[in-house]
Amino acid sequence: MDADEILMDSEERMEKATTLLSTQLQGLRTGRASPGLVDSIRADCYGSPTPIKQMASITVPEPQQILIRPFDVSQISSIVKAIQGSDVGLSPNSDGRMIRLNIPPLSGERRKQLVSRVKELSEECRVSIRNVRRDGNKHVDQLFKDKLCTEDERDKLKEQVQDLTKTYEGKVNEQAAAKEKDVMEQ
């Protein structure tokens, strides 16, 4: 790996980590209905686990309600079963053609639990970003050992990897703060 490849690889992996975090944060419940709550739930569709968003249209007709309309009505029972088995904590109501999910308001205790989950997820993301930094620094050291760069170039590359780390950790902190604020709003 040369210097540019190391930086590109590090940035790409850090970007993937922050993208995963934002996906995970979308699935956390706030006081309002959001299609992101059920996007990642997988239901059994003809023998294979399939995300609900590929099996049905998901809409939010009211601030406290999610409406799921399966493309194939025969899949309603598997979607209901998947929602009940997931950790979103919602009970689906089915009328045979569509599924309604009523979002109850969050209690103060549940909000605190969600905030702590946001902190856990963001810390996991920060750890993975730091692991990418460690790997990038190892590659830079290997370049120096193989005499493919000078000591000054090695130090400059390590500094660039550290700058990437700070940038992406800042993004993680912003996402976490925004989600915490969203969860704690009444």
Query: Is the predicted pLDDT of residue 186 greater than 70, yes or no?
Result: no
Residues 6+ apart with CB under 8 A from 158: 137, 140
Q: Is the pTM of this model over 0.85?
A: no
Per-residue model confidence as pLDDT tens digits over 132-172? 999 999 999 999 999 888 999 999 999 999 999 999 999 99
Long-range contacts of 2-5 (CB under 8 A, 24+ apart): 2/143, 2/148, 3/140, 3/143, 3/149, 3/153, 3/157
Distance from C-alpha of 136 to C-alpha of 148, rounded to nearest angstrom: 15
- What is the pLDDT, as a whole number, of residue 105? 79
Find the helix packing angle between 151-184 and 108-145, rounded to 10°: 170
Residues 6+ apart with CB under 8 A from 66: 33, 34, 35, 37, 38, 58, 59, 60, 100, 101, 103
- What is the pLDDT, as a whole number, of residue 106? 77
Q: Based on C-alpha coordinates, what's the Rg of the chain? A: 22
Domains of the chain, earliest start first: 3-26+107-184 (1.10.132.20), 36-102 (3.30.1360.40)
